[in-house]
Amino acid sequence: MSEEVREMFSSIAPRYDVTNVVLSWGVDRRWRRVAVRESGAAPGASVLDCATGTGDLALALRRAVEPGGTVVAMDFCAPMLGPAREKAHRAGLDDIRFDVADALALPYPSATFDIATIAFGIRNVDDPMRCLQEMARVVRPGGRVVVLEFGQPGGLWGALYRFYSRVFMPWAGGLLTGNRSAYAYLPRTAAAFPAGERFLALMRKAGAFASWRARSLSGGIAFVYVGEVRAAA
């Protein structure tokens, strides 16, 4: 699965940003701002952004930790990091470090960072619980792990969202990127991934957090999850 996901993201990397803006109507930018606030990122903090993709969250985090802070952004799909580095350069944020790495085996010492984040990436890893545990491992005790991910809204709003994601997204995504199957896969995985209380149960089961909480966004289309890393036993 990992290699298939890597190839899929490689194929859509050149048009990934413009497609996201079109498909989300720009709302994903607001969601990332909320994630930055929920992370508690402050001047001087050190942050790891996992599955950074084209770097939007990493750039927002870098601005939040100025002055004196550091951001390391990693992704297992190298082609996604090309646009990320270009955006960082245009924004004058060349000090963001971009690494090709696997979120299931992070190449960083334990308790290295104050915060670790992942946006719209944890549902694409082979073992989400292991990803949470790895993110918690590299964060100091008392620091935060922040996950931004899609949810499954209910009621009429949910029905409208499911129609949009299952019908319009594959059509528009295919038109913009030439890879319709990628934009059928992405909403399908979002619909199947545990959200809300079910994801909090996964955080609790991971055994790495002293506390955990969720914040619903846009009527449940997305969630921000925050876990406070517990001290090692």
Domain regions of the chain by residue span: 2-228
Mean pLDDT of the chain: 87
- Name the amino acid, one letter, at 219: G
Instruction: Give residue 228's pLDDT.
Output: 98
**pLDDT, mean of residues 110-133:** 95
> What angle do the packed helices 180-192 and 2-12 form, to 10 degrees?
130
Task: Report whether pLDDT(22) > 60.
Answer: no
Instruction: Give residue 231's pLDDT.
Output: 84
Distance in angstroms (rounded) separating the CA atoms of residues 143 and 113:
8
Task: Report whether pLDDT(21) > 70.
Answer: no
pTM for the whole thing? 0.87
The pLDDT tens digits for 126-168 are 999 999 999 999 999 999 999 999 888 878 887 887 877 787 7
What DSSP state is assigned to residue 103? T
Confidence of residue 173 (pLDDT cuts 50, 70, 90): low
| CATH architecture, domain defined by 2-228 | 3-Layer(aba) Sandwich (3.40)
Confidence of residue 180 (pLDDT cuts 50, 70, 90): low
The values of phi and psi at residue 163, to 5°, are -60, -45
